[in-house]
Structure 1
Amino acid sequence: MWVPEPELPLLDIFVTTADPVLEPPIITINTVLSLLSLDYPTNKLACYVSDDGCSPITFYALVQASIFAKIWIPFCKKYNVQVRAPFRYFSDEDTANNSDLPEFKQDWLRMKEEYEQLSSKVQNAAQNSIPLVGEFAAFSKTQLRNHPTIIKVIWENNEGVSNVVPHLIYISREKRPQHSHHYKAGAMNVLTRVSALMTNAPFMLNVDCDMYVSNPKVVLHALCILLDSKGEKEVAFAQCPQRFYDALKDDPFGNQLVALPLYIGGGFAGLQGIIYAGTNCFHRRKVIYGVSPDHGIQSRNKDHCLTNETLSEKVIIQKFGASKVLGESTAHTLEGKTFTPNDNHCKSLDLEAASEVASCEYEYCTAWGKQVGWIYGSTSEDVLTGLKFHTKGWRSELCTTDPIAFRGCTPQDNIGQMSQHKRWASGLLDIFLSKHCPIFGTLFGELQLRECFAYIWITNWALRSIPEICYALLPAYCIITNSSFLPNKEPGLWIPATLFVLYNISTLTEQLKSGLSIKTWWNNQRMGRITTMNSCFFGLLTILLKHLRISEAVFEITKKEQPSSSEGSDENVGRAIQERKVWDSFIYNMQINGAHFPICSFL
């Protein structure tokens, strides 16, 4: 479909970071710079960065990035740069020869020098303390889990023109020890409320701090789905697949997830839609606010109906909180009045109202986290929130582009890999054992039966550890007791043997069709067994202890690592050194950390 540029809708972009050590600010600002330079009118973009680490270093890095963006955005659009994260763009020396224009080489060298200065400033600030004076004074009396709300409008596009830096806002929500902050889901809800007061775009894009844009036209691709006549009525969100940069040869940790989104994601897309992956996703604001696709029709669930009673001030206050400004903004969204092509200004003057909706007490006695916004109750808040949308009857679509829309980084060591899978396994199982179980979504909601089966399969991921551990223990047990668990002469034995062979042929075919090697398939099979019998098992124990009220599941942040500077000078040598270090780390951790062995190894 074609929409004139003046009529393109506003888009609010959410970037989340939580720890300046595990998620270095230099990675965050590269993601932000790639988002600010999207091929989309900049006066229709607003970028909100949530810093749950309340770090002056992150704020300083964003301030410096906003200055660099004033020359980076025109450079990208003048020369039609494809990869707009500077650290990736300048890591390839061949990009200096990508244009025949005589001034390109000179501009390229100048931009590279400017970026190196930016990177040096950010890294020096991370190593040395920043004087907490002036605009940094708000950070002077803060602690990680005990600080007031800090909202800073770093850059505001007051002129409303389409060729300058978009709005850039820094947000660190209030945290107090006695109040639960609900991890990433809580941060996303704060971003939703603050953005509603400032720009109130009808569409929102959320990305993790390491997921830079590798296709600058991705917004246009996503809007083709969301603004389509059918999609407008049925599609809640458009999910872009995750891809990763600097993949190790043959994927020794099995964490590149190349075939999984192609086949499993494609299977979900053929049902009621793909699951929400927590990043690289375009949302409708009204869906986040709890509206159903049939809000104008009486449905099985009366909460789905949008009536004058639903839009009354009393109901809005009960659901969305006591802020009058947020109530007005919410009413406009629910009435479909957020599509305002000429209202492109960021309303930054009322920071007091924004601080109010970002406070830790604002959500009390409201529907936030229950019926509105990102749903609380699991460390896999992304899957839980997507399940809530599907239960209301919405569909979702897979947004695949060429080249791929986003790229990020994965853990470069086995401990980070195991920790990430443990969090996924525990969070998904927590969903299945809660009131949000997909079975209830089918019985009492609008979740389609086959989509329900798909959700059951993915949320029971942790339970796979029990049969896998049993099968792993059986051979060792039989060796010790000089017995056998398989019949010596039994025709029925060919049934499981055939299934085993067919399964492996199927997975091998998927890997080969995805352009991967046989060794990659083998590494994925090997790590699949290790991950299931370790990460999934400990994820299962985590949820068991949670439901016994012995301990609580926590959100574990995955460490993000930026590639070393050696890659720019000699990519092959740098990659070889990196792979050698990673493999040595893998062997070392296997030797000293018994928790990362399959349990049968203890026998």
Structure 2
Amino acid sequence: MTSKWHIGMESPTHSKVQTPKCRNQCHVEVEQPFSSSCIACMKLYEKLKADIEAAKNDETISGSWSKDKRQNHDAYVEIIEDGDGVEEIPALVYVAREKRRAWPHHFKAGALNALLRVSGVVSNAPYVLVLDCDMACNSRASALDAMCFLLDRRPPPDSLAFVQFPQLFHNLSHKDIYANELRYIFGTRWFGLDGVRGPPLSGSGFYVRRDALYGATPTADFMPDATAVAELKTRFGHSDRLVASLRSPGVPPEAEAMMSLAALASCAYEAGTAWGAGVGFMYQSVVEDYFTGFQRFFARGWTSAYCYPEPRPAFLGSVPTNLNDVLVQNKRWMSGMLAVGVSRRHSPLACRPLLRASLLQAMAYAYFGFAALCAVPVLCYATLPQLCLLRGVPLFPCPAATAAAFASSLLQHMAEVCVSRRGRLDLRTWWNEQRFWVLNALTAQLFGCVSAAQELLGARALDFDLTSKAAVDGSLYQDGVFDFTGCSALLLPATTLSVLNAAAIVAGTWKMSSSSSSSSGGFHFAPQLFLMCYGAALSYPLLEGMFLRRDPARVPPRITALSVALAAVLLAAMLG
């Protein structure tokens, strides 16, 4: 928190230099990095980085924000710049919401709602831009692009709730071994969903209507002027300033009103109100974007739009550069969406007849809601062919049909990659996505299913698995080498099945060679053996990390030992 506060305090110095230059020399872009204005800004940026590092290393400052205090502190709001004047930079406000162990803070959705309340009093802008802390604006035209959609008055009038931009990344490796590009989402599926009332809310990089978040619908205007003050306070809380902002544009508060701003970010403010249920981002899921997008917007008749500006991305973020962070992130997505998908109250398919979402849109949301269940067939293909081969049982009675089905699935994926690459055959992307899809199914999706089942049974509280946002050395990722640093039991199913598969290949080869003299006995095992060889090629980075590598980023030895032991138990059980 110390570094975030320091960034907030120092950023106006940087902005006051950059803003006038952008207004007077609107042609200056990042493509001209050696212009005098850009050089001056880069020097200021380097100074800001040095000051932040110095503040982090200052024990008198960092010691005051211990790990315990970061989870137990008062609300703090400071208006750094009020944005008063045409030539000034926009309003800049630092907000730290209150944290108490006795109060649920509702993770990212709770933070967004606190910011929504404070901004409603400070500026009350009709549109809100949401960005994650590891994403930054890369083009000043993003607001103009979004407004072209949001201010369009063509029929149906005022039905657009938000404009979603793709999530692109500045540190993406050209090898991209973890499929961090998310090409199948932002390069394929979101374009298709743009024709079915719009893509889902994607967590970051979107402009959204404030009144839509407040509970308005396209067919019934949000009219706080005609609503009693007592009713507004029941929904939005006891703040007179927030209720007043619902009726008229907000005015930057005076210095003596700072306490009222801090109250908006307190833990107790939402008690007895509609925040998190009928107002703002919804709380019942760790995937607040997926859940809020369907229940708050599409289910009430709103639509969305997908804006993919080229060649300059609107926003750029940072991808995780080690395998553990990627899997933890995917596990949170999978468990959260599956919990929504199987919910009787909130499932896109179960509640679709009661809502205003179209059938195709509900099916699309259900596809993502049940994506974690892909772990079940992948787990079957990673165990049954191997164990059946060891027992001498041919699993695929018709080898030709099996080969045709397998080849068609690979060709379908290859065609999808070619279309998204505009006709270019990108075998590296195709292979990386094939490999990570299997790895993700045996780790993040599998544990996501377990986590969702525990939540439904009440055996586990709702938890938000954080992905590290700290700057780390991503040299291995850039070189195309798997970084297993920090990997835990999340990786254990994949490593165990990789060892089992390798052992089954050896046994299967011997079995086929010994039965080749008999009447085509080994031919029936050919599909199983080919499938296992394909699995071995996909899992080679895991086997290499367990048995061939000796660097610190290899698979942790305890995971390797457990994997070998579990695989040995399975082999002994099948051969015994």
Given the alignment, which residue of 360, 363, 373 partners 2:280? 373
1:355 maps onto 2:262 in alignment? yes
1:190 maps onto 2:85 in alignment? no
Letter in 2 for 1:63: M
The 5 A counterparts of 1:96-107 are 96-97=33-34, 104-105=35-36, 107=37
Where 1:143 maps in the other structure, the secondary structure is helix
Letter in 2 for 1:121: D
Letter in 1 for 2:96: S
Q: Which runs of 5+ in 2 are unaligned?
A: 501-566, 568-576
The residue that corresponds to 1:209 in the other structure is: 133
Indicate conservation of the 8 Å contact 1:512/1:518, yes or no: no
1:453 maps onto 2:370 in alignment? no
1:291 maps onto 2:216 in alignment? yes
1:328 maps onto 2:256 in alignment? no
Indicate conservation of the 8 Å contact 1:157/1:167, yes or no: yes
Question: What displacement does 1:68 show?
Answer: 1.9
The residue that corresponds to 2:349 in the other structure is: 439
Where 1:362 maps in the other structure, the secondary structure is helix
Name which of structure 1's ranges 207-216 and 438-447 shifts more when overlaid on structure 2.
Answer: 438-447
Letter in 1 for 2:57: Q
Give the whole-Å Cα distance in 1 for the aligned partners of 2:490 and 2:265.
44
The residue that corresponds to 1:126 in the other structure is: 56
Question: What displacement does 1:598 show?
Answer: 6.7
Indicate conservation of the 8 Å contact 2:329/2:467, yes or no: yes
Given the alignment, which residue of 466, 477, 493 partners 2:376? 466
The residue that corresponds to 1:153 in the other structure is: 79
- Output one character per residue of 1:320-359: Cα deviation in whole Å (capped at 9) or x when no partner: 11222212222x2xxxx54xxxx77566652222122211
The 5 A counterparts of 1:569-584 are 579-580=478-479, 583=481
CA pair 445-511 structure 1, distance change in 2 beyond 3 A: closer
CA radius of gyration, larger in: 2
The 5 A counterparts of 1:1-40 are none
The residue that corresponds to 2:428 in the other structure is: 519
- Output one character per residue of 1:520-570: Cα deviation in whole Å (capped at 9) or x when no partner: 210111011101111000111111111222222321222235487xxxxxx
- Output one character per residue of 1:294-326: Cα deviation in whole Å (capped at 9) or x when no partner: 116xxxxxxxxx678971223212211122221
Indicate conservation of the 8 Å contact 2:321/2:477, yes or no: no
Q: More helix by proportion, 1 or 2? A: 2
Give the whole-Å Cα distance in 2 for the aligned partners of 1:324 and 1:110.
44
Q: Which runs of 5+ in 1 are unaligned?
A: 1-54, 84-88, 98-103, 297-305, 565-574
1:180 maps onto 2:107 in alignment? no
Question: What displacement does 1:149 show?
Answer: 0.6
Question: What displacement does 1:591 show?
Answer: 12
**TM-score using structure 2 length:** 0.79
Indicate conservation of the 8 Å contact 2:177/2:477, yes or no: no
Give the whole-Å Cα distance in 2 for the aligned partners of 1:264 and 1:496.
23
Which structure is higher in RCO with an 8 Å CA cutoff and minimum separation 6? 1
Structure 1 segments of 4+ aligned residues over 6 angstroms from their partners: 139-142, 307-310, 575-578
Indicate conservation of the 8 Å contact 2:74/2:98, yes or no: yes
1:396 maps onto 2:295 in alignment? no
Indicate conservation of the 8 Å contact 2:413/2:430, yes or no: no
CA pair 577-413 structure 1, distance change in 2 beyond 3 A: closer
- Output one character per residue of 1:338-381: Cα deviation in whole Å (capped at 9) or x when no partner: 4xxxx775666522221222111111111111111000111100
Question: What displacement does 1:113 show?
Answer: 2.5
The residue that corresponds to 1:585 in the other structure is: 483
The 5 A counterparts of 1:405-420 are 405-420=314-329
1:116 maps onto 2:36 in alignment? no
Give the whole-Å Cα distance in 2 for the aligned partners of 1:587 and 1:354.
42
Question: What displacement does 1:148 show?
Answer: 1.0
Give the whole-Å Cα distance in 2 for the aligned partners of 1:464 and 1:82.
48
Letter in 2 for 1:173: R
CA pair 512-114 structure 1, distance change in 2 beyond 3 A: closer
Question: What displacement does 1:428 show?
Answer: 0.7
Indicate conservation of the 8 Å contact 1:310/1:316, yes or no: no
- Output one character per residue of 1:97-151: Cα deviation in whole Å (capped at 9) or x when no partner: 4xxxxxx44x44433322221111111111223549xxx99x6997122111111
Give the whole-Å Cα distance in 1 for the aligned partners of 2:445 and 2:28.
38
Where 2:268 maps in the other structure, the secondary structure is coil
Give the whole-Å Cα distance in 1 for the aligned partners of 2:42 and 2:457.
55
Letter in 1 for 2:265: A
Given the alignment, which residue of 335, 360, 378 partners 1:426? 335
Name which of structure 1's ranges 122-131 and 472-481 shifts more when overlaid on structure 2.
Answer: 122-131
Identity, % of aligned positions? 27
**TM-score using structure 1 length:** 0.76
